Amino acid sequence: MSGYELLARDLAACGRDGFTGEVRVLGSPGGVFHLNGGLVVAVESPGAPAPEALLLRSGRIGGEEWAGLVRESGGARWPAAGLISHGYAGAAQLRVVCAMALQDAAFAVVAGSVDGCERGPAAGPAPAPVAVGEPPTRLLQAASRKLRALLELPYPVRPDRERPVPASLSYAASRLGVLQREILAHADGRRTSRDLAFRTGRGVYTVTVEVARMLGEGLLECGDEPRPIPVRLPPDGHGVRPREPAPPPQQPVPEATTLPRRLPGASGINEALTPERNGTGWKEFFRLRNPTTK
């Protein structure tokens, strides 16, 4: 059973059971499906921008205003009431943003790899839930159709694989759309379509389709390998200092030989070295006193 079939089976069972809670999808990028009464009300995935990223990109609210609304709401991840009361967005716009983020995150999960699913209770309220949930089977079928349509394009790409760069050709910038200009500005050979989606604050499916089209039009091209990341030198102009060789290990200091200690009352070295004093026999004593020359 493939990863998609495993995900479809588990989510279909949640729909039949009227499950309320979370289904964690293990894989790359993976994600979390939030269900209420068997319907999907929100989907989170590191492979797609969250609703707040889409809303901030629209320009209706800035980062500082968003942080203030979050504090005002007591740390809520989606301060919908504050957005409406302060006039930053209308209720209809918020519904559209939440629905777009849900469908885009589901597409990102389906376009990646699925290693397993875990069903469990909700860890908290669903972030940016839609008012009317989506049936799990219909949601996955829509994401699967998007993926098939993407792969049938003349230049098919995956959200997390190809890393395009602007092609070396002349074109009229005035004829380009806003999204095309943003993609050309950020495509540097290291960013995938998913990275470009986060960079531009657009849906990952929308950006991936546009990248495929731009490849077909010759505006982008894909290299065999990602471009290397340039290394910036410090302001003083000095490069990276070579590592100094480690100092050689010090030789252990030999232990000093214990010399015979002169005892109090001894008249000289001969008395200090008597057999009784240094523990040797008489034969050894005379050999030391009268060495023979060979």
Two structure tokens written together for 249: 């290990």
Torsion angle, alpha carbons of 58, 79, 52, 57, to 10: 20
pTM, whole model, 2 decimals? 0.73
State the Cα–Cα distance between residues 238 and 235, nearest whole angstrom: 8
Helix-then-strand count for the chain, H and E: 12, 6
Reduced to 3 DSSP states, what percent helix, strand and coil does the chain have, rounded to the nearest 5?
A: 40, 10, 45
Q: For residues 15 and 39, is the Cβ–Cβ distance under 8 A? A: yes
What is the Cα–Cα distance from 222 to 87, expressed in whole angstroms? 43
The span from the CA of 188 to the CA of 198, in Å, is 14
Tens digit of pLDDT at every position of the chain (294 positions): 578 899 999 999 999 999 999 999 999 999 999 999 999 999 999 999 999 998 888 788 888 999 999 999 898 889 999 999 999 989 999 999 999 999 999 999 999 999 999 999 998 889 899 989 999 999 999 999 999 999 999 999 999 999 999 997 766 666 889 999 999 999 999 999 999 999 999 999 999 999 999 999 999 998 655 444 454 544 554 544 555 666 666 666 555 555 555 555 554 444 444 545 455 555 555 565 566 554
Three-state SS letters, 124-142: CCCCCCCCCCECHHHHHHH
Name the burial class of residue 54, with classes exposed (0-12), middle (13-18) and buried (19+) by CB atoms within 10 angstroms of its CB: buried
User: Within 10 Å of residue 139's Cβ, how many Cβ atoms?
Assistant: 22
Contacts of 176 (CB under 8 A, 6+ apart): 184, 219
Q: What secondary structure does DSSP assign to 56-78, as a single string?
A: HHTTSS-HHHHHHHHHHTTS-SS
